[in-house]
Structure 1
């Protein structure tokens, strides 16, 4: 096997940014914040990417956790919330692990064309490079991996790297589809998840909430939903089915911002596809809940009306729901 040795910092610079450029200087990684993010992520109150920084996704996650635990809703790590999080303190904020050959070998899709017709020619819409794959596996961003490790860290088999602790508490999956099982493992999605009685997509809070049989809030995910051109379809819908690692049937006539309204193509599956690793179909035609190739934009960007989650959150939700589960979309 060809030995793969790449400098972490150099690979970060070579990675094409998928998010809008920051307009202000970004705060430094705070390990205390990262610790809170890691605990919330494991408990199912997803804070977005694990980057050791505050922001609206962390505030929303804290509010969800506080609601579920009958605490005063502040969106802050106040004394009562800290006490409720304390039993989980042994879930450390980071883990140090050796790199293996699989994640370094790819296959990668680099360069990844933006044109859907060109994407349709590829065998898969995979990650661009190893750092992007590692970042998604540990629910973070390439920049966070550089912040946790020296920029000259060599990405080679056996190199030990520091990652946000996104390791699942269980890998005892009850999944028969081998490809889907591999996806769950690669995204560090826990095998044990609560069962959803209903889900609520809340536009005002930019979150998707999961409730159990006792009407308890058991999980919450930051979400991107709709836009001015394609508003969230407010109403009561139903989950019709789930497609794992789906192909995407591109039809330009369904997109208001498409240049050519007569283009159609079938895009191959992959985490960098338009709907990511899973499509949860809804009774509203052409609408679904799905993953994204741009996890750092969740809750901040706009969509074409569908509900976008990070790939790892979408995969996690797919383990919670089934056909027939009600989905309420509220303003």
Structure 2
């Protein structure tokens, strides 16, 4: 008996169906674009398993000594961002995009040093060397890679920001920053403050 192969349509339906517990507006935005919404990896079951594990609620205590100014934990491997408010009344868990490679990934402790609604964007010198065709400046708007809001970190060039390209969320797709759906970064933007602790693991 030969095993039947999944068609592109059924594979796409399986991935979308398996992740249906994620934010439904985000899935609705991304699912219409077709197969490119799913990260290309060798084993589809591994992708689904990792996405499920990334949406596991965590306690802040193993990661922070206190919640002064609130705390953000980014788990690069599971592609999830966690937020706890200072008084512990708010806990949020968001799917995120993460850096393309380990070379672009930075881990450790930092903090929010600036908050910008409607950010503009300039590629870093390293980005321009890798992609000389990229523009030197992109103003706020639908073509801006930082989306609608950005949290600037104490590490130069590193940010937590939105994206207009919803296909990037849940994937290794950034040049170092952490990306969220625009509706999620807007919510996180309102919850955080300058001085909010950030830990990338």
TM (norm. structure 1) is 0.43
Partner of 2:26: 49
Q: Distance in 1 between matches of 2:150 and 2:129?
A: 21
Distance in 1 between residues matched to 2:170 and 2:146, nearest whole Å: 16
Q: Which residue of 1 aligns with 2:164?
A: 293
In 2, are the aligned partners of 1:48 and 1:222 still within 8 Å (CA)? no
Report if the CA contact (8 A) 2:101-2:172 is conserved: no
Alpha-carbon distance between aligned partners in 2 of 1:256 and 1:299, rounded to the nearest angstrom: 26
Higher RCO structure (Cα 8 Å, ≥6 apart): 2
CA distance in 2, matches of 1:230, 1:311: 26
- Point out where structure 1 has 5 or more consecutive residues left out of the alignment: 1-22, 42-46, 69-194
Bigger strand fraction: 2
Distance 1:61 1:204, change over 3 A: closer
How far apart in 2 are the matches of 1:222 and 1:255?
A: 28
Which ranges of 4 or more aligned residues in structure 1 deviate by more than 6 Å? none
From 266, 290, 308, give the equivalent of 2:179.
308
Does the aligned pair in 2 maintain the 1:48–1:58 contact within 8 Å? no
Aligned length: 168
Q: 1:296 to 1:56 in 2, by over 3 A?
A: farther
Gap change, CA 1:231 and 1:250, over 3 Å in 2 = closer
Per the normalisation by structure 2, the TM-score is 0.68
Instruction: Indicate the residue corresponding to 1:63 in structure 2.
Output: 56
What residue in structure 2 maps to residue 265 of structure 1?
136
SS of residue paired to 2:172: coil
- Answer yes or no: is the 8 Å Cα contact 2:69–2:197 preserved in 1: no
Give 1:247 shift.
Answer: 1.5
Summarize the Cα distance change of 1:55–1:278 in structure 2 as closer, same or farther, 3 Å threshold: same
- Identify the match of residue 191 of structure 2 among 316, 320, 323: 320
Q: 5 Å matches for 1:21-170?
A: 24-25=8-9, 26-27=12-13, 36-37=21-22, 41=23, 49-51=26-28, 55=48, 59-60=52-53, 62-64=55-57
